Amino acid sequence: MKNLLSVGIICLLLSVTSCEIKPAPINFGSDSCHFCKMTIVDRQHAAQYVTKKGKQFKFDAVECMLNDLSENGIGHLGLLLVSDYVHPGEMTDATQATYLISEGIKSPMGANLSSFSNKSDAENALETHGGELFLWKEMLIKYQVPE
């Protein structure tokens, strides 16, 4: 009976820790994009989401993540992260970021889409490079992402 209880406790602990919703570090230069399969090298445009079950998916560009979400929806997600263009490699909450589509800033897959954790940084980039600003909800509509 003691062994059965011990096994039950161990299984419970494993199930709780294995479903932890946290990002994995992106290994720039060796990790591949889940959507397009290209190697992730650009620290200014990378993205990642984590499902509610704790599985991590990495992307070489925000547009790859949005294209993936347009096929799979967002209901299964626990965490969405995008790289802050001003602080390359630093990830920020995708739902709180401000997005700039500008031909003056090239992104890996050609959508010219960059993300900013700070709206004023996005506005400064808009002044410098031109383009159009978007919020997360607007990006979901633009990429036809189902709820």
Within a domain: residue 92? yes
Within a domain: residue 4? no
Within a domain: residue 25? yes
| Distance linking the first and last C-alpha atoms of the chain | 46
* Euclidean distance between CA atoms 128 and 85, whole angstroms: 14
The total domain count for the chain is 1
Q: Does the pLDDT value for residue 17 go beyond 60?
A: no
Average pLDDT, the chain: 90
Q: Does the pLDDT value for residue 43 go beyond 50?
A: yes
Give the pLDDT confidence of 86-127 residue by residue, as tens digits: 999 999 999 999 999 999 999 999 999 999 999 999 999 999
Residues 129, 122, 113, 135, CA torsion sign: negative
Task: Give whole-number Cα distances, 47 to 1, 74, 113, 116, 147, in Å.
Answer: 48, 15, 12, 12, 19
Give the pLDDT confidence of 63-76 residue by residue, as tens digits: 999 999 999 999 99
Q: Residues 104, 113: contact at Cβ < 8 Å?
A: no
pTM of the model: 0.86
Within a domain: residue 109? yes
Structural domain including 35 reads 21-142
Residue-level pLDDT at 11: 45
What count of residues does the chain have?
147
